[in-house]
Amino acid sequence: MTLTKTETYFKNRVGELRSLAQRGDPWVFLCTSSFLEYLAKIELGKATSSTDYKNFLRNTFFKVCPAYAGFRYRSGSRDLAEQMYHVLRCGIVHSFSLFADPLAKANHGGRDRSILLAHRSSGQRHLANFVNQRPKPQIDAAVFVAEDFVDDVGKVTDFLFAQAKKRNKAGKQLRNNVRKWVKTYPPVGMRMF
């Protein structure tokens, strides 16, 4: 599988994610979160630990989409990477829930309700703070709007493949990582021949 064909496959999946986002159902968050985890794996060319995933968010995703790096919870916490790991990866992808299992929560610093999911039709603004005034459950959250989140994942996809095309040492390593991971773990629906 050539890098160009692999890139086309991933860009087509981003298009499908955009279609899911426009439908207004919750499935877009499961699919986009899983897709994001796969991007972390192809960048590294290996399975990702919690540290690898959070570093991918900070060093790649947040570099391409700096609004995430600048997000601050009302409490003052600036730990969006940890909360994305907790809610998107441990919760949605691995637990099919917005809540991660207790072990993930205890070991990785996640807070329940630290990310709230929405669509543009809700009138919410992407990466806005959401704080309720009730004592229970107390919510201090980042709002993730599906359409904007998918657009940002698309930007990261474009960035990774642009970096992989560079004719330097880092580009060569990324190309090798992409090929290695995709060959070993072909993504859903990708024709390998």
Q: What is the pLDDT of residue 113?
A: 87
Banded pLDDT at 1 (limits 50, 70, 90): confident
Q: Checking phi first, is residue 163 left (phi over 0); if not, alpha (psi -120 to 50) or beta? A: alpha
The percentage of residues in the chain with a pLDDT greater than 70, rounded to a whole number, is 99
For residues 25-33, average pLDDT: 94
How far from each other are the two terminal CA atoms of the chain, in whole angstroms? 7
- pLDDT of 70 above 80: yes
| pLDDT tens readout for residues 102-111 | 877 777 778 8
**Domain residue spans of the chain:** 3-67+146-184
Q: How many CB atoms lie within 10 A of CB 147?
A: 19
47-68 b/e (C-beta count within 10 Å ≥ 16 → b): ebebeebbbbbeebbbeebeeb
- pLDDT of 88 above 60: yes
Instruction: Please state, in angstroms and rounded to a whole number, the distance separating the CA atoms of residues 94 and 96.
Output: 6
For residues 14-39, average pLDDT: 95
ω into residue 135 within 30 of 0, thus cis?
Answer: no
